[in-house]
Amino acid sequence: MTERTHVPVYLDPYTRSADHLDLLSAGPWQHMAPHVSTALAGIGENDATIVELGSGTGLGTCVIARTAPRARIVAVEPSSHLRAVLLHRVASDNDLRSRVTVENRPFPSSRLPEKFDALVMINSLGHLDPDERSELWRVVAAGLRPGGRAVINLQAPTTSSEVPEFEMARECVGDREYHGTARAECMDEHTVIWHMIYRTSEDGREIDATEVEYRWNVLDPGTLESELAQHNLHANAVGDEQFGVFAIESDVRRR
């Protein structure tokens, strides 16, 4: 277990969107799940350790657990609001409860196993700035066991550019409809600001709306490849290109 003593104060950008997040992410995860499972193929046939960074409410954690049914999983989630849902999901299922450990500290302060067979970071890499990303590649290069891999996705836009408003998802529960839209604006060459609006309506009338912003570090496949090369790692695209999933492996085992 790697321990870092200095833990900076964590400012959680998900406090006001947490109630919508699990509901609105479930549909998109049905499309993402096969690509993550393909990228993890062969991991966890034997007892394995899998680290998941930015587990959110645990939708991806369930996909990892299904794909690697004997693996022990360390699920890292720094948002206490999202972690409450994650911990509930894990604790209410006997199988997940027996093999998923929930870690609260954000990367790179997280207490992680020194060695692991896979590291998964889906829909979350943009939360790491370039220094934290460099630390991530160092941890991956040092921690991956032979045959292991990291699985990440690069979300559009992969270069700093505006994204006009679009609908993310819409779901009904009881008499109410929950609805999320997103748009992105450029902040600088490496960063966009995502503006989300989470709306609740009943009988076609909006009864609540919450606007939130996330700062997001963009990354394109070419820059990913050159960052990885500095750590003797390389990436291969997996599955449908629009999902931006990459499996990252060590070059050392190819020699």
Question: Nearer Cβ to ligand SAM, position 163 or 234?
Answer: 163
Among candidate residues 87, 88, 150, the one with its CA nearest the CA of residue 116: 150
Give dist(CA 243, CA 60) in Å, integer. 14
243 belongs to the binding site for ligand SAM (CB under 6 A): no
- The helix (run of H) or strand (run of E) holding residue 130 is helix 130-143
Report in angstroms how near the CB of residue 122 gets to ligand SAM at its nearest.
Answer: 5
Question: Nearer Cβ to ligand SAM, position 30 or 232?
Answer: 30
Binding-site residue total for ligand SAM (CB under 6 A)? 20
Among candidate residues 199, 108, 191, 176, the one with its CA nearest the CA of residue 121: 108
Tokens 């277990």, residue? 1
Report in angstroms how near the CB of residue 254 gets to ligand SAM at its nearest.
Answer: 29
Report in angstroms how near the CB of residue 12 gets to ligand SAM at its nearest.
Answer: 7
Among 71, 75, 82, 218, binds ligand SAM (CB under 6 A): 82
Question: Nearer Cβ to ligand SAM, position 107 or 149?
Answer: 107
Give dist(CA 138, CA 152) in Å, integer. 15
Give residues 91-150 in contact with ligand SAM (rule: CB under 6 A): 106-107, 122-124, 127-128
Question: Nearer Cβ to ligand SAM, position 89 or 127?
Answer: 127
DSSP string, 166-194: EEEEEEEETTEEEEEEEEEEEEETTEEEE
Give dist(CA 196, CA 61) in Å, integer. 24
62 belongs to the binding site for ligand SAM (CB under 6 A): no
Give residues 13-32 in contact with ligand SAM (rule: CB under 6 A): 14, 25
180 belongs to the binding site for ligand SAM (CB under 6 A): no
Stretch that binds ligand SAM, among 40-48, 72-80, 156-164, 215-223 (CB under 6 A): 72-80
Report the relative pairing of strands 245-250 and 144-153 from DSSP bridges.
Answer: antiparallel
Residues 6+ apart with CB under 8 A from 114: 1, 2, 142, 143
60 belongs to the binding site for ligand SAM (CB under 6 A): yes
Residues interacting with ligand SAM, by CB under 6 A?
14, 25, 53-56, 59-60, 76-79, 82, 106-107, 122-124, 127-128
